[in-house]
Structure 1
């Protein structure tokens, strides 16, 4: 974002524009105050005018930085959101098409189909029935075609587009290759489509293994992309999701009337925060290439892209109102970690705090300078009042603007977590959909049906089954093992021995599963085990998909079943980690409706443990998402959660129900100890003074308590940044030294002491803006570090009373208190004479008694 130009986007950000205009108005007010001071208090204001000018310049710089950061975060928010969506487009497509590469490899070796293409079997109706059975299970295909060596169409399932012959070059390519051919373009195999995504592979003679023809699986590309766009598109239709080819041409568009298929569009693979022009309109664009899945990267050059017009990108952004829903203590504690999750927010907060402290110090120093003075110096008091009022207005505006920036940053994180959670459950449902297809199709394998229907089974026959299952498992690596069992539930063939080397052949499946498989009403039905530990998955929890194997001549007669053991550990981990942006501070889970962990990237919560999340999230409706800020493992965290909603017919119309929640945590930092916190005294109320019998005191805060010292001892307050740390002797209360300009033009030095440490025995928190009050008593000068400056009020002598609850106040740091606000507020008065005597000794008794000790 270093080259980010906020001016380009400000006209489209009304809230930021209003903030900028308000800040410019305050800037003009500061200039007027400075001019007034120069004209009316020429000599009196000389000591504060340089600081006023520097403060105004700092505020001007802070205004620019704040406006730029607000605009920058809003742009980054949009780019992150559309970048995540673009990633979804390409990732989901690639994972889907990876399954197609396995499908074509397996179906091209189907013995019945190969026999038909080789001319060994002329029953075309039986072949068509088999192809349609395949299509009924793998509904992602809209056409399946068998061709001979010359391109003659032997069989096809799409009766709306009758073909006789093809001259497509993919036929020759497939015949010459020993792997699949992936084609996306116009083809005479799909004459009604402008482009078709076709997976083709040569077929071999079942006996001689000579090349006899080609199988083509035609992927339902438009339907699939429509489903992706409907699931993940911006619900307010402000942005357009696209799939691009390697030449940056649109091959799928969520809104074709807006951006048409075939158009060449500008891309932004780096996620640059610069608008691009397309069709006479400025857009923010994010382009994402394929990361690949199991080594497969999809068709060459394909990319996901989302484009959103700049003029609508910021007007209807989704709001989480995260801060309004947070407990104040959590909001404040989380903000303490701004440096980690938004460095710009942290820097601006620190700058705003510094500006506020500088303004407070200017007013405070001016009040000290005019204490007990009359004549022209009284003019300066009016200027100081204006500075104080304008400073308060500035503080309020900056505080609101910082809150807006904070809200924007949190909203971006919340949206991101919610989007990742939604992607997780979509990937899971899409993946498991394929498993339900696989088990049902493999159950139709003729060799399996014939073997299980036979009265006797030879070793050679069983060995053939092992070979078939091994070949399938080699193509479909998401399974740990594939096994076949007879009607009694005894496993007769299987891939992969158990970890101890033993074969599962001869063992039995559990009675409940067998009963359910034997009760399946048809070949479109399947059974899935609960997610639980199984000996078939080496005693780890997983899903096992089952389908009934039916008699080759009597479909109503079930002769056994097939089980496929999903490699849940590896596959779920790949889904979770693949969806995370690679940040160590993020973790992801799949859980069930009770919070039981199905998969986890968190080593502290392995599979089988419980994830504690709010009950209302566990009860979310299918397809619904939520995001919130939570306490998680002693840290503040952004949490996103989405409930699965199925894919195509899977978990929607096939009677299978198994809700899974995707949960994402983004840890932002440890929870801060809040406790009661340091209190602030109530504002001072001006009361009538006794004529000729009053004194002015400089007041300040230490650990939330109000202290005062007679104003005649105060020179000024300066920032702690001027302290030079020097260690001389074992004096922990002495924190450094100040160099000051003497009246003779030379340099004077003064020790700086931590007054909070002297009072409580605990070191004070200090930063560059912490105030140091310079005190002078006779010829001695010291500096005392305090937490915050307060004011320089005037009190009657009668308001000063001995410190209560103490038997004697002689030789005390706080011998008296000042009654303010009709006695409701007690201000502890520090004895300057005692303080100097105390600090000039070699040792200080810890801690010096104050009102707090009473």
Structure 2
């Protein structure tokens, strides 16, 4: 434990708690009140009130320490969780993207046009008369590279070399590098893997300090290496997009990408933490406090979770947040627009905090209840014994003690309520963040699908074979073989199919789907595909059940295959997205995780179209094709907009974050023909929806004190039962006790509460709420037992739900009630009148003797007179059933 301003704190808070403004505010308030408790304790000991505040002071001091610790830990955990999520998303989004690149290089390296060019270059390079022919072919190959980059805009350059590293062709001819001596050339030729991934200074790209390049060998028909192909990834461009989705204008965090040695290779704020800087990793720790430059930061590092077995280049996502800005983000705007009654129910949820924090308000309530009873008893003793040297001062001191207790309890309640708002706001913010992640993953994934179908439609073999007048079985088999190769590299498809201008399937990638060969696909997207005018166009089916996917819901992407001279459409290629596992996996990857990396129980997510049709769900809550049973404004969002809210589903409240798709790069951009708005919704359970309570709060008692007025006064001890306030002449009251240890008597009747030991003797305790027509107690009420005396030595108790003030009331204001009113069965002796009913209220003053007589009548016994000190202390006969 660390000590901070006279409070023992958890070691994790050392160095950070001073930056938590809200926690500091409550600590200062509570320590100020603690100083008041010190003074009141001393004054109580000197005043002769017989009220010792030492235990109360110590109890509140311990609770203050507990509260500050838990408030600070919750605040710290919230910031660390947000940092952890950003670090994880930064690396995982990149790794997902790079996974696609590992497939791209493997497929493009098998392209027939590349193979043909390398072979012809080798044959013609020594002939000076063939240079013009080679240049023509090189230009044609560059056009093909340009077509590729127009679709896969994540690449900046494509380079083709021979096995010696000589550059044969490249997209960016402004870079003049005739030959490479980089080790990637030899590695690409020799590797047993499906690709070579290089992030380093590469001589092929001299304008960059470091580049991310994917390489693989180009082979001839015999499988011999004849060249090396390189795809140059737009690393800085892609990281800027990732960082842009993770940071906002009011965000002080810096999101970084680190290599295995902790060197910064990408930064969301290069002026703050520049490229090339070395920072400490925080992988195994929940977080670390680190110094960089002249500033302290919270730091968190996350490795990649990987994607389909690919773990990336071994990099880390890393977030650094200046400590002085780490804990003071205002998220209260997330609560705007949420129904007040719903919000109130959610704020009472027991699931939002750890149990120790939930218990603090209960402990404060218990301390305050005991304190109120001590003050009440002190006032009763003052009235009955007149022992105080200065009764007026003693009275003032007692109520100041009570007020200070109420203030202390109020600080506890306000701090917890503020934390409630902070936690719920954080959940809503996190839900929005994760919804943004989910839809970003989906848009990025489907961007690749739109690219794939268009690029594969440019496969030279497809174009040549479909342009021929007759499709023979051998030609169809060749097409099927190429499709099988593609599908082996791109496992996100359940099937690939090539069809002719009539929509008749010529070949498929999956042997199990061979029954489709020769059949016509009767779908509108087929007709749309065959009318596409250029290689940039593509068609997408609606998200619907299709026989191409065993009558399940999915998207089918398609592009037109044009003849080699590109003057007519000769068919098309359809790629059937394996939607069920792929979309579900995207949603599951976006769900919140606890400190153990597990999804909290009850969380789920959906993709849903603007129309309300469900596309996918992370669990069995909804099935594709079903309708979302509510809107709440989530489906009307503008593209790229987010919304958070609290909704009720069945008997449970959920925090819901939503984000409407906005596309990725060119995919679904404003200028794109294809538009398909989809929203991601993340659901986080908050609490059960409890039935609305019809129980109103206890009305505040308004009784004027006549202490300063002339004339005789009497002190009235007030208490409430149910919704009603009552008074007792303090001379008839011994004291108030809690009801711990009370023993019930089965079958004793509704008025009899049980027996309670008092000064070594069991006394009967009664519940007068039914006799007084006072109504039921509020849930969670801590009952008090008011001990009354009926003559000397004869005591009994009545249950009270709460204790009030003990005002001095002029005798002239007491209006006695007739003794025989209602047959002598009324509990009250008098009623206190008021001259200002708009400020005060009438108050019934009960009498101990009348209560005893009425209880005797209710139990069926004859009334018993008050006993003498030598008689039995039993009030009435044993209670009857």
Contact 2:698–2:722 under 8 Å retained in 1: no
Partner residue in 2 for 1:578: 589
1:260 aligns with 2:279: no
1:247 aligns with 2:264: no
1:569 aligns with 2:586: no
Partner residue in 2 for 1:77: 78
Partner residue in 2 for 1:705: 724
Q: 2:239 aligns with which of 211, 218, 225?
A: 225
Matches within 5 A, 1:788-803: 788-793=802-807, 796=811, 799=814
Partner residue in 2 for 1:851: none
Would the alpha carbon gap of residues 387 and 696 (structure 1) be closer, same or farther in structure 2, given more than 3 Å must change?
same
Would the alpha carbon gap of residues 736 and 668 (structure 1) be closer, same or farther in structure 2, given more than 3 Å must change?
farther
Would the alpha carbon gap of residues 842 and 157 (structure 1) be closer, same or farther in structure 2, given more than 3 Å must change?
farther
Matches within 5 A, 1:534-613: 534-553=546-565, 555-580=566-591, 581=593, 582-613=599-630
Render the CA deviation track for 1:355-397: whole Å, top value 9, x for unaligned.
3323322222222223355462444212112223333433443
Would the alpha carbon gap of residues 670 and 731 (structure 1) be closer, same or farther in structure 2, given more than 3 Å must change?
farther
Q: 1:414 aligns with which of 414, 428, 451?
A: 428
Contact 2:115–2:219 under 8 Å retained in 1: yes
1:441 aligns with 2:446: no
Equivalent-residue separation in structure 2 for 1:608 and 1:144 (angstroms): 42
Would the alpha carbon gap of residues 263 and 32 (structure 1) be closer, same or farther in structure 2, given more than 3 Å must change?
same
Contact 2:331–2:426 under 8 Å retained in 1: no
Partner residue in 2 for 1:656: 674
Does 628-637 or 149-158 show the bigger shift?
628-637
Partner residue in 2 for 1:38: 45
> What is the SS of the residue equivalent to 2:91?
helix
Partner residue in 1 for 2:177: 163
The structural deviation recorded for 1:193 is 1.7
Q: Gapped runs of 5+ residues in structure 1?
A: 846-854
Equivalent-residue separation in structure 2 for 1:753 and 1:324 (angstroms): 48
Q: 1:491 aligns with which of 488, 505, 509?
A: 505
Would the alpha carbon gap of residues 618 and 203 (structure 1) be closer, same or farther in structure 2, given more than 3 Å must change?
same
> What is the SS of the residue equivalent to 2:107?
helix
Would the alpha carbon gap of residues 156 and 759 (structure 1) be closer, same or farther in structure 2, given more than 3 Å must change?
farther
Contact 1:146–1:154 under 8 Å retained in 2: yes
Contact 1:182–1:197 under 8 Å retained in 2: yes
Would the alpha carbon gap of residues 729 and 825 (structure 1) be closer, same or farther in structure 2, given more than 3 Å must change?
same
The structural deviation recorded for 1:799 is 4.7
Does 503-512 or 196-205 show the bigger shift?
503-512
Partner residue in 1 for 2:296: 282
The structural deviation recorded for 1:491 is 1.7
Does 626-635 or 647-656 show the bigger shift?
626-635
Matches within 5 A, 1:475-554: 475-496=489-510, 503-553=515-565
> What is the SS of the residue equivalent to 1:617?
coil
Equivalent-residue separation in structure 1 for 2:109 and 2:465 (angstroms): 22
Render the CA deviation track for 1:130-150: whole Å, top value 9, x for unaligned.
222112111111121222222
Partner residue in 1 for 2:657: 640
Would the alpha carbon gap of residues 727 and 559 (structure 1) be closer, same or farther in structure 2, given more than 3 Å must change?
same
Contact 1:709–1:832 under 8 Å retained in 2: no
Partner residue in 2 for 1:87: 88
**Equivalenced residues, count:** 825
> What is the SS of the residue equivalent to 1:639?
strand
Equivalent-residue separation in structure 1 for 2:534 and 2:493 (angstroms): 24
Does 142-151 or 430-439 show the bigger shift?
142-151
Matches within 5 A, 1:272-421: 272=286, 275-300=289-314, 302-315=315-328, 317-321=329-333, 326-343=338-355, 345-372=357-384, 374=386, 376=388, 377-421=391-435
Contact 1:81–1:416 under 8 Å retained in 2: yes
The structural deviation recorded for 1:431 is 0.7
Contact 2:160–2:227 under 8 Å retained in 1: yes
Would the alpha carbon gap of residues 54 and 630 (structure 1) be closer, same or farther in structure 2, given more than 3 Å must change?
farther
Partner residue in 2 for 1:716: 735
Would the alpha carbon gap of residues 502 and 216 (structure 1) be closer, same or farther in structure 2, given more than 3 Å must change?
closer
Equivalent-residue separation in structure 2 for 1:610 and 1:800 (angstroms): 69
Contact 2:726–2:846 under 8 Å retained in 1: yes
Equivalent-residue separation in structure 2 for 1:651 and 1:760 (angstroms): 69
Does 556-565 or 172-181 show the bigger shift?
172-181
The structural deviation recorded for 1:655 is 2.8
Does 656-665 or 110-119 show the bigger shift?
110-119
Partner residue in 2 for 1:68: 69
Render the CA deviation track for 1:587-619: whole Å, top value 9, x for unaligned.
211112233222112523222222244453322
Contact 1:12–1:314 under 8 Å retained in 2: yes
The structural deviation recorded for 1:187 is 1.8
Render the CA deviation track for 1:642-672: whole Å, top value 9, x for unaligned.
1111111111133321111111121111122
Does 807-816 or 602-611 show the bigger shift?
807-816
Contact 1:812–1:834 under 8 Å retained in 2: no
Contact 1:12–1:311 under 8 Å retained in 2: yes
Q: 1:630 aligns with which of 643, 647, 657?
A: 647
> What is the SS of the residue equivalent to 1:666?
strand
Q: Gapped runs of 5+ residues in structure 2?
A: 2-8, 124-133, 594-598, 860-874
TM-score normalised by the chain length of structure 2: 0.86
Would the alpha carbon gap of residues 273 and 345 (structure 1) be closer, same or farther in structure 2, given more than 3 Å must change?
farther
Equivalent-residue separation in structure 1 for 2:742 and 2:310 (angstroms): 61
Equivalent-residue separation in structure 2 for 1:517 and 1:440 (angstroms): 11
The structural deviation recorded for 1:306 is 0.9
The structural deviation recorded for 1:678 is 2.6
Would the alpha carbon gap of residues 556 and 749 (structure 1) be closer, same or farther in structure 2, given more than 3 Å must change?
farther
